[in-house]
């Protein structure tokens, strides 16, 4: 079986053959070979023998991926084939909106722009706050504020489009 697994921005092919009956698996990752024997010792915890090295790993389901803990490090691993592709909302080459979305679950503190306002790349658009830390979300490009989809005090999450910015196309002719 072949998996294409994503950690952060990196996608890596994992070729696997396994045997349920004796709980073994052979994996080849970017040319690295692993002979694995695994045991599900308790809830979401596996004891692995990888090429003779013993490791305990923990795996918990997450949103569109799994959280894995190994030796003090945690990784969010996703199956690239199972990721839901976000609809691009592109209307055409002339209108490419820039989406302002928060990097973490947070509360909107201040909206610094109005609909129809022209903004420059890097200009502050929305201030959000989480765990006593304020972050200013900035315009990714020069453009015009097309629509504001949020209000002050709204609770927002990554993926929520707070403000749409219509990118300004500079005529180079």
Q: Which residues bind other proteins (CB under 8 A)?
A: 1, 3, 5, 7-8, 12, 14, 16, 18, 20, 25, 27, 29, 32, 34, 36, 38, 40, 44-46, 48, 50, 55, 57-63, 66-75, 77, 79, 81-82, 84, 103-107, 130-133, 135, 155
Q: Minimum distance from CB of 142 to other proteins (Å)?
A: 25
- Phi and psi at residue 122, in whole multiples of 5°? 90, -5
- Return the number of the residue (86 or 171) whose C-beta is nearest other proteins: 86
Q: Minimum distance from CB of 133 to other proteins (Å)?
A: 5
What is the side-by-side strand order in the sheet with 124-130? 133-138, 124-130, 106-111, 155-156
**121 neighbors 140 (Cβ within 8 angstroms):** yes
Q: Minimum distance from CB of 38 to other proteins (Å)?
A: 5
Strands 124-130 and 133-138, how do they pair? antiparallel
Q: Minimum distance from CB of 10 to other proteins (Å)?
A: 8
- Return the number of the residue (5 or 145) whose C-beta is nearest other proteins: 5
- Return the number of the residue (32 or 86) whose C-beta is nearest other proteins: 32
- Return the number of the residue (27 or 112) whose C-beta is nearest other proteins: 27
- Return the number of the residue (49 or 168) whose C-beta is nearest other proteins: 49
| DSSP assignment of 111-170 | E---TT-EE-TT-EEEEEEETTEEEEEE-SSSEEEEEE---TT-EE-TT---EEEEEPPP
- Phi and psi at residue 27, in whole multiples of 5°? -130, 140
């Amino acid at each position: 079986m072949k998996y294409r697994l994503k950690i952060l921005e990196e996608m890596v092919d994992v070729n696997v053959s396994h045997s349920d009956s004796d709980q073994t698996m052979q994996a080849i990752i970017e040319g690295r070979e692993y002979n694995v024997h695994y045991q599900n010792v308790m809830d979401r915890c596996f004891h692995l023998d990888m090429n003779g090295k013993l490791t305990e790993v923990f795996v918990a389901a997450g949103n569109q991926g799994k959280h894995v803990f190994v030796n003090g490090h945690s990784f969010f691993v996703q199956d690239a084939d199972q990721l839901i592709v976000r609809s691009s909302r592109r209307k055409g080459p002339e209108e490419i909106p820039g989406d302002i979305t928060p990097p973490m679950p947070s509360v909107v503190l201040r909206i610094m722009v109005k609909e129809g306002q022209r903004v420059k790349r890097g200009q502050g658009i929305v201030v959000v706050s989480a765990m006593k830390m304020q972050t200013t979300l900035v315009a990714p490009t020069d453009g015009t504020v097309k629509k504001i989809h949020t209000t002050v005090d709204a609770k927002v999450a990554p993926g929520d489009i707070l403000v749409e910015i219509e990118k300004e196309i500079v005529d180079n002719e």
